[in-house]
Amino acid sequence: MTTTIEKVSGVSIYEYNDFYKKNKRAVYQFIYMRCNDKLAAEELANDAFIKAYKALSTFDGNKASFRTWIYNIALNATTDYWRKKKISTTSMYGNDDEGEVTVLEFKSYDDSPLDVMINSERHAQINSAMSKLDPIQADMLNKLVDGYSYEEIAEELSMNLGTVKATIHRSRQLHG
Provide the 8-state DSSP code for 112: P
Q: How far apart are CA 138 and CA 149, in angstroms?
A: 15
Q: What whole-number percentage of the chain has pLDDT above 70? A: 74
Q: How far apart are CA 108 and CA 104, in angstroms?
A: 13
Q: H-type helices in the chain, by residue range? A: 2-8, 13-35, 38-54, 66-84, 113-131, 135-145, 150-157, 161-175
φ and ψ at residue 14, rounded to 5 degrees: -70, -40
pTM of the model: 0.47
pLDDT tens track for 136-175: 888 888 787 777 888 988 988 899 999 989 888 888 777 5
